[in-house]
């Protein structure tokens, strides 16, 4: 399948699902009251999507790879925030595990795409 727009990128699609999940989790009453963590969690999730899209639009493999790296870092940031949410009792263990695995899946896809871009130079 040829990628013609950023929406065609599997990693972006997965990042979108991650963002939906993070927004769902941060709407829960206890989580929603922690404005700082809620905001940071949402921003980090959105950043995963945004960096993939922005990198794609740069039309340069080198730039795209740089932005994919930032997306990967943002996915790690989401994971870290999930630990805080779990430790504070804002989310249950099962929610943590589902969101953490979604982060891992997005990270695997991003990393795989980075490798593909590097190998095809």
User: Each residue's pLDDT tens digit in the chain (121 positions)?
Assistant: 688 999 999 999 999 999 999 999 999 999 999 999 999 999 999 999 999 999 999 988 999 999 999 999 999 999 999 999 999 999 999 999 999 999 999 999 999 999 988 887 6
In a domain, 1, yes or no: no
In a domain, 3, yes or no: no
What is the DSSP code string of 97-120?
HHHHHHHHHHHHHHHHHHHHHHHT
Q: Is 56 helix (H, G, I), strand (E, B) or coil?
A: helix
Q: Is 2 helix (H, G, I), strand (E, B) or coil?
A: coil
Q: For the domain that residue 89 is a member of, what is the CATH number?
A: 1.20.1440.60
Q: What's the predicted TM-score (pTM) here?
A: 0.94
> What residue numbers bound the domain in which 69 lies?
8-119
Overall domain count for the chain: 1
In a domain, 26, yes or no: yes
In a domain, 2, yes or no: no
In a domain, 99, yes or no: yes
């Amino acid at each position: 399948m040829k990628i013609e727009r950023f929406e065609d990128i599997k990693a972006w699609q997965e990042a979108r699902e991650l963002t939906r999940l993070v927004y769902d989790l941060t709407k829960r009453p206890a989580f929603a009251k922690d404005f700082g963590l809620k905001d940071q969690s949402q921003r980090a999730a959105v950043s995963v999507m945004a960096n993939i899209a922005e990198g794609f639009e740069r039309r340069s493999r080198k730039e795209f790879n740089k932005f994919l790296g930032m997306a990967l870092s943002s996915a790690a940031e989401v994971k870290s925030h999930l630990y805080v949410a779990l430790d504070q009792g804002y989310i249950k263990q099962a929610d943590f595990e589902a969101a953490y695995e979604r982060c891992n899946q997005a990270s695997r896809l991003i990393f795989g795409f980075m490798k593909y871009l590097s190998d095809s130079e």
